Amino acid sequence: MSDNQISSRRAAGILLHLTSLPGPWGIGDLGPEAENFLDFLRESGQNCWQFLPLGPTLAIHGHSPYMSTSAFAGNPLLISPDNLLRDGWIAAADLADRPDFYQYLVRFPEVSDYKGKILAQACARFHATARKPEAFSRFSADNLWLENYTLYAALSEKFAGRPWFEWPDEIARRHPEALKRAAAALDERIIFHKFVQFLFAEQWREFKEKAQERNIKLIGDVPIYVALDSADVWAHQDCFQIDPETLRPEFVAGVPPDYFSETGQIWGNPLYHWGTPEKPNFTVIHWWQRRLRRLAELVDIIRIDHFRGFEAYWQIPAEAETAAAGGWVKGPGAGFFDKVAETLKDLPIIAEDLGTITPEVEKLKDDFGFAGMKVLQFAFDGNPENPYLPWNFTSGNNVVYSGTHDNETTVGWYLDENVAEKAKAQARQAANSNGSNIHLDFIRMAYSSIAALAIIPLQDVLGFGSDCRMNHPGSVERNWAWRCAPRFITGEIGRMLREMTAFYNR
């Protein structure tokens, strides 16, 4: 597993979720603007494009990509109407009533309604013209996860979006005859959801090929947990700590008090039923193998979110008011990665090792050769031994970030009155700067470090403030919605990045 090094040479990339791309459809997608951004990356000397998880999202969770209804399916909102038109799945008349979408934020209800209508029109044409029947049949046969996901999606519609554990008991508990009757009754909607996933797969394949043509590596994100109301938990209840009587978890996932929250965070995800080192639950292991294999089909590098949860995870009573009521429980550790080693092979892994990190977590990461993360916004606390200070990096097998999707933008951090002036002064001293272009200072510090890979959020490349932040941990207000207008992604910005990457040999 020591071959999982993140990069054989110094490299650089940008963090930008696909939904944040510009474009006329209210949300970024896999269409022309994705190809334009690949061109921007190539022309600006970048090697990697990192984005957030790709699964379908739920309004009840604020469309967080970390609370998806499936660890295997693609988000239908990422399907490009432009490409559907080009490929003959819809007609120009189908797009004639496009709303005048707001371009700076994703307004998810409007986008979901509009794209749902477009996808329904594409599916109607699929039925009417019988185009690509062999490709669709092959896709359906090759992706066994589709059966559970599409039945879950159809049932969720039938029961008006109620979570699976509130469905009729025989369906919630997956009695075979009840599932067979439901599948027969919902056949039309099941085919629709399969077709939508087929479209996503077709557009993603083209997108990945275009990235490969430009020598851009795609970095995908795998959340350690899945949403309670998801096809995964419904279909694999024996993998999760679910009370067999109530079908609800007694304990849920989260994190203790940390940098982001004084009381910690309750995420609400069900915890895995890992078993014990002596008697591991191989059902969970096999599910994870399939999950990693699926993501490896889509991307070149995988970032494992909340990696420390494999060594020990924070278990919170489901009825607790704050995460502070939780406690640490030993995770599956090295035994898990030994068992999925064949699935990973030489796939580069970024272990999100932020938060409460112990020597045991570091050992687990290092023993398998996974790259760690270094976030510059965490560096300036006055401690000369702070591990996030660039001169304290002890290994090149790291990915350095100015900030992540959970952080304030760098300009927002610098202007935040809650950030100690002492921290800002230390950052200025580290950069030998007056702070007037603090975002560029952070990029230079990241690029000049020994980390093999430097990833900068696009908001920091552009010097944007706090109104462009992607996520506020512990809050559901205005998260995941930021979009970049096309006028900001300029040749001048590309030249600046190209000169910096060349200067720092990235």
With beta carbons less than 8 A apart as the criterion, state whether 152 and 69 touch: yes
Residue with tokens 């992604």: 489
Task: From the candidates 94, 232, 352, 460, give the one annotated as an active-site residue.
Answer: 352
In this structure, the dihedral spanned by the alpha carbons of residues 400, 55, 346 and 450, taken in order and rounded to 10 degrees, is 0
- Beta-bridged to residue 387, according to DSSP, are none
- The beta strands (E) that lie in 171-238 are given as 217-222
Count other Cβ atoms within 10 Å, centred on residue 168. 12
Whether 258 is catalytic is: no
Separation CA 122–CA 494 (nearest Å):
37
Amino acid letter, residue 265: Q
For residue 32, with 0-12 CB atoms within 10 Å meaning exposed, 13-18 middle and 19 or more buried, which class applies?
A: middle
SS3 386: coil
**What single DSSP character describes residue 272?**
B
Select from 240, 291, 370, 364 the least CA-distant residue to 70.
Answer: 291
Whether 147 is catalytic is: no
SS3 361: helix
Q: How many CA atoms lie within 13 A of 473 on its CB side?
A: 20
Both tokens of 435, joined, read: 């702070």
Both tokens of 145, joined, read: 């996860």
Percentages helix, strand, coil for the chain (3-state, rounded to 5) are 45, 10, 40
Whether 406 is catalytic is: yes
- Beta-bridged to residue 327, according to DSSP, are 315
Task: From the candidates 202, 229, 305, 441, give the one annotated as an active-site residue.
Answer: 305
Select from 485, 464, 350 the least CA-distant residue to 51.
Answer: 350
Task: From the candidates 221, 406, 441, 460, give the one annotated as an active-site residue.
Answer: 406
Separation CA 332–CA 309 (nearest Å):
9
For residue 278, with 0-12 CB atoms within 10 Å meaning exposed, 13-18 middle and 19 or more buried, which class applies?
A: exposed
Separation CA 492–CA 482 (nearest Å):
22
For residue 475, with 0-12 CB atoms within 10 Å meaning exposed, 13-18 middle and 19 or more buried, which class applies?
A: exposed
Active site members: 305, 352, 406
